[in-house]
Amino acid sequence: MNAPLHLAATLSDGHVTGVHAENSRPLAAQLLVGKTVDEAARLAPVVFSLCGVAQGVAVKAAADVAGGGSFVMTADIERALSLEAIKLHLWRLMLDWPVLFGRQPERTRFAFVLKRLDQATDARSAYEAGGAVLDLVARELLAGFINSLREPRNLTEFADTCRRSGSIGDALARLIEAGASDPLEDPVPLLAPLPASVFAEALPGGWPDAAYCRAPHLSGDVYETGPLARHVNNPLVARLVVQRHRIAARLFARVVEMSDCASRLRHPLPDDMPALVDVAPLAGGGALARIETARGVLLHALRLDGDTVADYAIVAPTEWNFRPGGVFEQEGAGWAATDVAYAEWRLRALALALDPCVLYDVAVTEGAVADA
């Protein structure tokens, strides 16, 4: 086993059971302990590769409040965070989802789009990049919906409408045609954007210790974080959820979120969207920064000794969704599968929809068959 996130299950009597997410990646926030605030803010984006902008902002925001000051969100920060989120969403949509359906990753196209986005270096160019992203969303997913005068009457029409768009729409159509994906009568609740103070007040012992960082919860309850949790009120996303197509709903929510991010690029700090970042003081000293990232809520807890980081903890979105008893383990189990290959495919689709930020592998083993 090489991947830091190992996803395993058993196929018994035609049903997937025993779904287990084994997360062995190191809790590396300690790398920042002993550094000055400036060093930590410089290191975080380099050390934590994927959402480096968010990690760097979180360090700075938590340090500002822990040091007795306040954190001031700016249009520049909002644009940088939105741009990073768009890139991460596009990574999944262009490189990873096509592979799930046996197609080649769209590397050349993704590289072209990345270069276009990297030109967004000021307010004006960010405005233009946001427009390009909105055009992409319209072409890739929403063209069929825009061109129709009425909403699809049923899921067959929904899938057909998706397919009339680009490759992302095609992936969504295929997911819908693969059948309902949610076996749970009582789904794992969705973690709507909440202020940092709510997390700070609910932290056991007032600090996210190693056990909490591995298996976060809110007042003892397990939640799903990510685009679905943020966009479940979108009518088309909600429709897929009601029809128990939660994997497809997550993919759709990701595209909806891209358009939100594009809007923030064009008009940062809007009054009608939740704040991307906020910070709350911790009862025992220090501060907790909350950032909504592409994968879900990211929490950074920090205590200072003068200008030096005395203690640090990071709670990443992957730990909410892939924790023991979390949404992957719950939603991954209990559904019917004809064979191991199909079971693995469905679990890969679920994992991709929940979007872990580390390499993962999926292994399904054949279990005992009950006597007839």
Partner 1 sequence: MCLAIPARIVEKLDGDAARVDLGGVRKEISLALVDGAEVGDYVIVHVGYALSKLDPEEAAKTLALFEESGLDLQAIAAGSA
Task: Give phi and psi for 310, each to the nearest 5.
Answer: -90, -30
Residue 237 engages partner 1 in binding (rule: CB under 8 A): no
Classify 218 as helix, strand or coil: strand
314, 327, 353, 362: which one binds partner 1 (CB under 8 A): 314
51, 228, 237, 277: which one binds partner 1 (CB under 8 A): 51
Residue pair 183/334 in contact by the 8 Å Cβ criterion: yes
From 275, 307, 270, 295, select the one nearest 59 (Cα to Cα).
307
Residue 111 engages partner 1 in binding (rule: CB under 8 A): yes
From 258, 229, 219, 216, select the one nearest 88 (Cα to Cα).
258
Residue 24 engages partner 1 in binding (rule: CB under 8 A): yes
DSSP 109-166: HHHHHHHHHHT--SHHHHHHHHHHHHHHHIIIIIHHHHH-SS--SSHHHHHHHHHTS-
12, 17, 30, 263: which one binds partner 1 (CB under 8 A): 30
99, 103, 107, 146: which one binds partner 1 (CB under 8 A): 107
Residue keyed to tokens 């991709």: 352
Residue 161 engages partner 1 in binding (rule: CB under 8 A): no
Q: Provide, rounded to whole angstroms, the least separation between the CB of residue 167 and partner 1.
A: 17
In the bound state with partner 1, the residue whose beta carbon lies nearer, of 48 and 252, is 48
In this structure, what DSSP letter does residue 105 have?
P
Residue pair 325/263 in contact by the 8 Å Cβ criterion: no
Residue 48 engages partner 1 in binding (rule: CB under 8 A): yes
Token duo for residue 155: 């899921």
CA 237 to chain centre: 16
Residue 28 engages partner 1 in binding (rule: CB under 8 A): yes
Rounded Cα–Cα distance for residues 133 and 209 (Å): 39
The Cβ of residue 180 has, within 10 Å, a number of other Cβ atoms equal to: 15
In the bound state with partner 1, the residue whose beta carbon lies nearer, of 87 and 245, is 87
Rounded Cα–Cα distance for residues 7 and 3 (Å): 9
17, 36, 47, 160: which one binds partner 1 (CB under 8 A): 47
Q: Provide, rounded to whole angstroms, the least separation between the CB of residue 233 and partner 1.
A: 28
Residue 357 engages partner 1 in binding (rule: CB under 8 A): yes
Residue 129 engages partner 1 in binding (rule: CB under 8 A): no
Residue 363 engages partner 1 in binding (rule: CB under 8 A): no
In the bound state with partner 1, the residue whose beta carbon lies nearer, of 106 and 201, is 106
370 residue type, one letter: A
Residue 2 engages partner 1 in binding (rule: CB under 8 A): yes
In the bound state with partner 1, the residue whose beta carbon lies nearer, of 132 and 138, is 132
Residue 210 engages partner 1 in binding (rule: CB under 8 A): no
Residue 98 engages partner 1 in binding (rule: CB under 8 A): no
Residue 96 exposure: Cα atoms within 13 Å on the Cβ side:
19
90, 287, 298, 301: which one binds partner 1 (CB under 8 A): 298
Q: Which stretch binds partner 1 (CB under 8 A): 7-15, 239-247, 254-262, 352-360?
A: 352-360
Q: How far is CA 323 from each of CA 38, 268, 320, rounded to the nearest angstrom?
A: 32, 33, 6
In the complex, which residues of this chain contact partner 1 (CB under 8 A)? Answer: 2-4, 24-26, 28, 30-31, 43, 46-52, 55, 95, 107-108, 110-111, 114-115, 298, 314, 316, 357-359
